[in-house]
Structure 1
Amino acid sequence: MSATTIAALADRTEVAELFARLARLLDEGRYDDAHTVYTDDVVVHSPRGGELRGLAEVTAHLHRQHPEGEHTHHLHGDVQVTLDGDRATATANQLAFFYRDGQPPYQEAGTRLTYRAVRTTAGWRFDQADIALTFLRPLS
């Protein structure tokens, strides 16, 4: 395997891993760690937040959207990464469950994610996120 192929595989893996790191920080409520997955000038389009510009605005939104005692469990699948030099497009399907302390999930949401990533001095980071809600339903 050539060095170019190995480097491309490493880049794809790092970009795909951003989805897992994002899910972890959301599920663990570590919103102030958003800089580990997003650039300072990130633009997020979200069904819950509309258009959010910049890391500070995204972080503030995350803090506002999660009431005390509510938790999430995010799962990503069908991740695809397309590299273009120091940029990449990454898509995934996301399933999120919402629950409260000591209780089963009361709601689930499915979304389709289309993100753009860029190589930074700190590694790959998302600089654009488009989150499209595919379904939202209460659970019995």
Structure 2
Amino acid sequence: MSTNTLIADRIEIADLLSRFALLLDEKRWDDAAAVFAEDVAVHSPRGGELRGLDKVVGFMRQGEVEGEHTQHTTTDLLVEVDGDRASASANSTVYYYRDGLPPHFTGGLRQRFTAARTPAGWRLREVRITPAWTREN
């Protein structure tokens, strides 16, 4: 694999994780296939283990709270590419707020991802979310 290909893959995977955060913040559930593989597995304390795009999207829709918004800020991204597979990790701070008001809840997350190259580009195959801390404001 050339250095240029490796750099391009790492940039695309970093963009994929940003698209994941924006998908959550903007509640664009119909765009989930642009982020997740059809056979995605998501592991989180709130949802347990969810397998398959339809179940993941269903869980995200079900978790919506009327009038509540989120802002995900993702940092410390590390990506390792191995051919058509990649692993990544990141820290994320999530702010929960209502229009015009400061956050009423904030949480820190540690995230681990597995991605796969598909004909449509890189997609998340596995997401593991572990809460690090929470604060009610």
Normalised to the residue count of structure 1, the TM-score between the two structures is 0.95
Displacement after TM superposition at 1:93 (Å)? 0.3
Whole-Å separation in 1 of the counterparts to 2:109 and 2:62: 20
Q: Distance in 2 between matches of 1:94 and 1:123?
A: 24
Matched, 1:124 2:122: yes
Q: Which residue of 2 aligns with 1:23?
A: 21
The answer to whether the aligner puts 1:113 opposite 2:111 as a matched pair is yes
Structure 2: how far apart are the matches of 1:94 and 1:80?
Answer: 13
1:43 alignment partner AA: A
Structure 2 unmatched ranges of 5 or more: none
In the comparison of the two structures, how many residue pairs are matched? Answer: 137
Aligned-pair identity (%): 48
- Structure 2 match to 1:103: 101
Task: Report how far residue 68 of structure 1 moved.
Answer: 1.4
> What is the RMSD computed on CA atoms of the aligned residues?
1.0
Cα deviation for residue 113 of structure 1 reads 0.4
Partner of 1:68: 66
Structure-2 separation of matches of 1:104 and 1:13: 32
Counterpart of 2:2 in 1: which secondary structure? helix
Q: Any unmatched runs of 5+ in structure 1?
A: none
Q: Which deviates further from its counterpart, 95-104 or 110-119?
A: 95-104
Distance 1:56 1:136 in 2: 29
Structure-2 residue corresponding to 1:5: 3
User: Residue type of the partner of 1:45?
Assistant: H
Which moved further from structure 2: 28-37 or 107-116?
28-37
In structure 2, distance between residues paired with 1:48 and 1:35? 22
Q: CA deviation at 1:58?
A: 0.4
Counterpart code for 1:83: V
Shift of 1:101: 2.2
